[in-house]
Structure 1
Amino acid sequence: MDDVSTAAEGQRRRTRDRRGRGMRGPGVLPERPGTPALRTARQRFDQLVLDVVAPLDERWQRHLGLVEYAVEDTPMLPDDWGDETVPLSSLVRGKGTGPTRLVVFRRPIEHRATTHDELRAMVHLVVVEQLAELLDLTPGDIDERYAD
Protein backbone atom coordinates (compact mmCIF):
# COMPACT_ATOMS: atom_id res chain seq x y z
CA MET A 1 0.00 0.00 0.00
CA ASP A 2 2.81 2.42 0.89
CA ASP A 3 4.55 1.71 -2.42
CA VAL A 4 1.42 2.66 -4.39
CA SER A 5 0.85 5.96 -2.55
CA THR A 6 4.48 7.09 -2.92
CA ALA A 7 4.47 6.21 -6.64
CA ALA A 8 1.32 8.31 -7.17
CA GLU A 9 2.84 11.25 -5.29
CA GLY A 10 6.01 11.07 -7.39
CA GLN A 11 4.01 11.26 -10.64
CA ARG A 12 1.91 14.23 -9.54
CA ARG A 13 2.77 17.45 -11.35
CA ARG A 14 4.32 20.13 -9.25
CA THR A 15 2.54 23.47 -9.63
CA ARG A 16 4.55 25.20 -6.94
CA ASP A 17 8.25 25.62 -6.43
CA ARG A 18 10.06 23.94 -3.59
CA ARG A 19 9.13 26.69 -1.12
CA GLY A 20 5.43 26.57 -1.98
CA ARG A 21 5.21 30.08 -3.46
CA GLY A 22 3.87 29.19 -6.83
CA MET A 23 4.71 30.60 -10.21
CA ARG A 24 6.80 33.78 -10.36
CA GLY A 25 6.64 36.49 -12.96
CA PRO A 26 4.17 39.01 -14.29
CA GLY A 27 0.49 38.34 -13.82
CA VAL A 28 -0.39 40.39 -16.90
CA LEU A 29 1.30 40.29 -20.28
CA PRO A 30 1.74 43.56 -22.20
CA GLU A 31 -0.38 44.28 -25.26
CA ARG A 32 2.71 45.29 -27.20
CA PRO A 33 5.94 43.37 -26.55
CA GLY A 34 8.65 45.52 -25.04
CA THR A 35 6.26 47.86 -23.20
CA PRO A 36 5.25 47.56 -19.57
CA ALA A 37 1.81 46.04 -19.02
CA LEU A 38 0.99 48.15 -15.98
CA ARG A 39 1.63 51.88 -15.71
CA THR A 40 3.31 53.39 -12.69
CA ALA A 41 1.56 55.76 -10.29
CA ARG A 42 3.48 58.65 -11.85
CA GLN A 43 2.31 57.71 -15.37
CA ARG A 44 -1.30 57.37 -14.20
CA PHE A 45 -1.15 60.80 -12.54
CA ASP A 46 0.41 62.38 -15.66
CA GLN A 47 -2.42 60.94 -17.76
CA LEU A 48 -4.98 62.24 -15.27
CA VAL A 49 -3.54 65.76 -15.50
CA LEU A 50 -3.59 65.56 -19.29
CA ASP A 51 -7.22 64.44 -19.24
CA VAL A 52 -8.14 67.40 -17.03
CA VAL A 53 -6.03 70.01 -18.85
CA ALA A 54 -6.90 69.10 -22.45
CA PRO A 55 -10.52 70.35 -22.56
CA LEU A 56 -9.73 73.46 -20.50
CA ASP A 57 -6.73 74.36 -22.64
CA GLU A 58 -8.71 73.78 -25.82
CA ARG A 59 -11.52 76.04 -24.60
CA TRP A 60 -9.30 78.90 -23.36
CA GLN A 61 -6.37 78.65 -25.80
CA ARG A 62 -7.12 81.99 -27.48
CA HIS A 63 -6.94 83.80 -24.14
CA LEU A 64 -4.12 81.80 -22.58
CA GLY A 65 -1.45 82.09 -25.22
CA LEU A 66 1.51 79.77 -24.80
CA VAL A 67 1.17 77.72 -21.61
CA GLU A 68 3.41 74.84 -20.65
CA TYR A 69 1.87 72.25 -18.31
CA ALA A 70 4.10 70.12 -16.11
CA VAL A 71 3.90 67.61 -13.28
CA GLU A 72 6.54 67.42 -10.59
CA ASP A 73 6.65 65.11 -7.59
CA THR A 74 7.06 67.73 -4.87
CA PRO A 75 7.68 71.47 -4.65
CA MET A 76 11.09 72.80 -3.73
CA LEU A 77 10.45 74.66 -0.48
CA PRO A 78 12.91 77.01 1.19
CA ASP A 79 14.36 75.99 4.55
CA ASP A 80 12.47 78.77 6.35
CA TRP A 81 9.06 77.64 4.98
CA GLY A 82 7.71 76.88 8.46
CA ASP A 83 4.39 75.20 9.20
CA GLU A 84 2.52 76.66 6.25
CA THR A 85 0.66 74.26 4.00
CA VAL A 86 2.50 72.69 1.10
CA PRO A 87 1.48 74.16 -2.29
CA LEU A 88 -0.40 71.90 -4.69
CA SER A 89 0.65 73.80 -7.81
CA SER A 90 2.76 76.64 -9.07
CA LEU A 91 2.15 79.25 -11.75
CA VAL A 92 5.11 81.07 -13.29
CA ARG A 93 4.09 83.73 -15.77
CA GLY A 94 6.05 83.85 -18.99
CA LYS A 95 8.36 86.75 -19.73
CA GLY A 96 8.84 88.05 -23.24
CA THR A 97 8.53 85.11 -25.61
CA GLY A 98 8.88 82.54 -22.82
CA PRO A 99 5.83 80.42 -22.07
CA THR A 100 3.79 80.55 -18.89
CA ARG A 101 4.43 77.42 -16.82
CA LEU A 102 1.73 75.73 -14.74
CA VAL A 103 3.18 72.98 -12.52
CA VAL A 104 1.01 70.48 -10.63
CA PHE A 105 2.69 68.75 -7.68
CA ARG A 106 1.80 65.05 -7.59
CA ARG A 107 2.68 63.92 -4.06
CA PRO A 108 0.85 66.66 -2.08
CA ILE A 109 -2.30 66.10 -4.13
CA GLU A 110 -2.13 62.30 -3.85
CA HIS A 111 -1.56 62.65 -0.11
CA ARG A 112 -4.81 64.61 0.31
CA ALA A 113 -7.01 62.42 -1.91
CA THR A 114 -8.37 59.05 -0.75
CA THR A 115 -10.13 57.84 -3.90
CA HIS A 116 -9.51 58.15 -7.63
CA ASP A 117 -12.59 60.36 -8.04
CA GLU A 118 -11.36 62.64 -5.27
CA LEU A 119 -7.93 62.78 -6.90
CA ARG A 120 -9.47 63.74 -10.25
CA ALA A 121 -11.64 66.40 -8.60
CA MET A 122 -8.66 67.86 -6.75
CA VAL A 123 -6.51 68.04 -9.90
CA HIS A 124 -9.43 69.70 -11.71
CA LEU A 125 -9.85 72.19 -8.86
CA VAL A 126 -6.15 73.09 -8.81
CA VAL A 127 -5.90 73.54 -12.59
CA VAL A 128 -9.09 75.63 -12.78
CA GLU A 129 -7.92 77.90 -9.95
CA GLN A 130 -4.53 78.44 -11.59
CA LEU A 131 -6.07 79.19 -15.00
CA ALA A 132 -8.50 81.61 -13.33
CA GLU A 133 -5.58 83.41 -11.70
CA LEU A 134 -3.71 83.52 -15.00
CA LEU A 135 -6.69 84.96 -16.90
CA ASP A 136 -7.79 87.22 -14.02
CA LEU A 137 -11.25 85.59 -13.92
CA THR A 138 -13.20 83.69 -11.30
CA PRO A 139 -12.85 79.89 -11.26
CA GLY A 140 -16.59 79.61 -12.04
CA ASP A 141 -15.98 81.52 -15.28
CA ILE A 142 -13.25 79.07 -16.31
CA ASP A 143 -15.35 75.97 -15.69
CA GLU A 144 -18.99 75.88 -14.58
CA ARG A 145 -18.32 72.59 -12.73
CA TYR A 146 -15.99 74.38 -10.31
CA ALA A 147 -18.77 74.91 -7.76
CA ASP A 148 -19.50 71.16 -7.72
Structure 2
Amino acid sequence: MESAQRLERLWGDRIQDVQIIVQEIPAGLEQMAPETVRGLLGTSTPAAGKQPATITVYRHPIEMTARGYIPANELVHDVIVEQMAELLGMAPEAVDPAYGRSRA
Protein backbone atom coordinates (compact mmCIF):
# COMPACT_ATOMS: atom_id res chain seq x y z
CA MET A 1 0.00 0.00 0.00
CA GLU A 2 2.82 2.39 0.89
CA SER A 3 4.45 1.89 -2.50
CA ALA A 4 1.23 2.50 -4.39
CA GLN A 5 0.58 5.67 -2.40
CA ARG A 6 4.10 6.97 -2.99
CA LEU A 7 3.90 6.34 -6.73
CA GLU A 8 0.45 7.90 -6.88
CA ARG A 9 1.88 11.06 -5.28
CA LEU A 10 4.68 11.09 -7.86
CA TRP A 11 2.63 10.19 -10.94
CA GLY A 12 -1.00 11.05 -10.11
CA ASP A 13 -3.60 10.25 -12.74
CA ARG A 14 -1.11 8.60 -15.08
CA ILE A 15 -1.00 5.47 -12.90
CA GLN A 16 -4.30 5.73 -11.06
CA ASP A 17 -5.90 2.84 -12.94
CA VAL A 18 -3.00 0.39 -12.44
CA GLN A 19 -4.04 -2.43 -10.14
CA ILE A 20 -1.52 -3.97 -7.75
CA ILE A 21 -2.24 -7.46 -6.52
CA VAL A 22 -0.36 -9.92 -4.31
CA GLN A 23 -0.17 -13.64 -4.99
CA GLU A 24 1.65 -16.28 -2.97
CA ILE A 25 3.68 -17.71 -5.86
CA PRO A 26 3.73 -17.36 -9.65
CA ALA A 27 1.33 -19.59 -11.55
CA GLY A 28 3.08 -22.53 -13.21
CA LEU A 29 5.99 -22.40 -10.79
CA GLU A 30 6.56 -26.14 -11.08
CA GLN A 31 7.31 -25.88 -14.83
CA MET A 32 9.72 -22.94 -14.57
CA ALA A 33 13.49 -23.23 -14.78
CA PRO A 34 15.28 -22.44 -11.49
CA GLU A 35 16.94 -19.31 -12.95
CA THR A 36 13.52 -17.98 -13.96
CA VAL A 37 12.06 -18.57 -10.51
CA ARG A 38 14.97 -16.78 -8.80
CA GLY A 39 14.28 -13.57 -10.71
CA LEU A 40 10.50 -13.69 -10.56
CA LEU A 41 9.42 -11.37 -7.77
CA GLY A 42 6.71 -9.63 -9.74
CA THR A 43 5.18 -9.22 -13.18
CA SER A 44 3.23 -6.60 -15.06
CA THR A 45 0.46 -6.87 -17.61
CA PRO A 46 -0.45 -3.86 -19.77
CA ALA A 47 -4.03 -2.66 -20.05
CA ALA A 48 -6.08 -4.45 -22.70
CA GLY A 49 -9.58 -3.39 -23.64
CA LYS A 50 -11.53 -2.91 -20.43
CA GLN A 51 -8.87 -4.67 -18.34
CA PRO A 52 -6.61 -2.22 -16.48
CA ALA A 53 -2.85 -2.61 -16.31
CA THR A 54 -1.88 -4.94 -13.47
CA ILE A 55 1.22 -5.39 -11.35
CA THR A 56 1.47 -8.71 -9.52
CA VAL A 57 3.82 -9.09 -6.56
CA TYR A 58 4.74 -12.62 -5.44
CA ARG A 59 4.85 -12.75 -1.65
CA HIS A 60 6.76 -15.99 -1.09
CA PRO A 61 9.64 -15.29 -3.53
CA ILE A 62 10.02 -11.79 -2.06
CA GLU A 63 10.19 -13.15 1.48
CA MET A 64 12.76 -15.75 0.40
CA THR A 65 14.87 -13.10 -1.36
CA ALA A 66 14.71 -10.59 1.51
CA ARG A 67 15.63 -13.11 4.28
CA GLY A 68 17.02 -10.49 6.64
CA TYR A 69 19.29 -8.92 4.03
CA ILE A 70 16.80 -6.22 3.15
CA PRO A 71 13.47 -5.19 4.69
CA ALA A 72 10.70 -6.93 2.73
CA ASN A 73 8.70 -3.71 2.34
CA GLU A 74 11.68 -2.03 0.63
CA LEU A 75 12.11 -4.97 -1.73
CA VAL A 76 8.36 -4.88 -2.50
CA HIS A 77 8.67 -1.19 -3.36
CA ASP A 78 11.57 -1.84 -5.73
CA VAL A 79 9.64 -4.65 -7.43
CA ILE A 80 6.58 -2.42 -7.88
CA VAL A 81 8.76 0.39 -9.26
CA GLU A 82 10.44 -2.03 -11.71
CA GLN A 83 7.10 -3.29 -12.95
CA MET A 84 5.63 0.22 -13.19
CA ALA A 85 8.70 1.29 -15.16
CA GLU A 86 8.08 -1.54 -17.58
CA LEU A 87 4.46 -0.49 -18.04
CA LEU A 88 5.48 3.15 -18.60
CA GLY A 89 8.47 2.32 -20.83
CA MET A 90 10.87 4.10 -18.50
CA ALA A 91 13.87 3.36 -16.31
CA PRO A 92 13.01 2.49 -12.68
CA GLU A 93 15.07 5.48 -11.47
CA ALA A 94 12.86 7.79 -13.56
CA VAL A 95 9.71 6.34 -12.01
CA ASP A 96 11.00 6.82 -8.45
CA PRO A 97 14.36 8.44 -7.68
CA ALA A 98 14.49 6.41 -4.44
CA TYR A 99 14.55 3.14 -6.42
CA GLY A 100 17.28 0.74 -5.35
CA ARG A 101 18.46 2.66 -2.31
CA SER A 102 17.76 -0.31 -0.08
CA ARG A 103 20.21 -2.42 -2.08
CA ALA A 104 22.97 0.19 -2.28
TM-score range, shorter chain: 0.7 to 0.9
- Per the TM alignment, residue 89 of structure 1 is displaced from its structure 2 partner at its CA by 0.6
2:84 alignment counterpart: 131
Q: Which runs of 5+ in 2 are unaligned?
A: none
Query: Conserved in 1, the CA contact under 8 Å of 2:45 and 2:87?
Result: no
Normalised by the size of structure 1, how large is the TM-score? 0.59
Q: TM-score w.r.t. structure 2 length?
A: 0.81
Q: Return the alpha-carbon distance in structure 2 between the equivalents of residues 108 and 147 of structure 1.
A: 18
Q: Give the CA deviation at 1:94.
A: 1.5
SS at match of 1:66: coil
Task: Quote how far apart the aligned CAs of 1:128 are.
Answer: 0.7
Shift of 1:124: 1.2
1:128/1:142 contact within 8 Å kept: yes
Please give the secondary structure, in 1, of the residue aligned with 2:72: helix
Deviations 1:93-133 (A, max 9, x none): 11112211111000000011123952122111101111111
Residue 36 of structure 1 is matched in structure 2 by none
Q: Which has the higher helix share?
A: 2
Q: Does structure 1 residue 118 correspond to structure 2 residue 71? A: yes
1:69 and 2:24 matched: no
**Structure 1 equivalent of residue 42 of structure 2:** 89
Q: How far does the alpha carbon of each residue in 1:35-85 deviate from its partner, in whole angstroms, 9 at most, with x for none?
A: xxxxxxxxxxxxxxx112211123213222511111111111265422223
Higher relative contact order (CA 8 A, sep 6+): 2
Residue 90 of structure 2 aligns with an amino acid whose one-letter code is L
Q: Quick one: distance in 1 between partners of 2:6 and 2:50?
A: 24
**8 Å contact from structure 1 (residues 63, 135) kept in 2:** no
1:51 maps to amino acid: E
Q: Percent identity?
A: 30
Equivalent-residue separation in structure 1 for 2:24 and 2:57 (angstroms): 8
Residue identity opposite 1:123 in structure 2: V
Q: Which of structure 1's runs of 4+ aligned residues deviate more than 6 A?
A: none
Note closer, same or farther for the CA distance 1:139–1:99 as it changes in structure 2 (3 Å cut): same
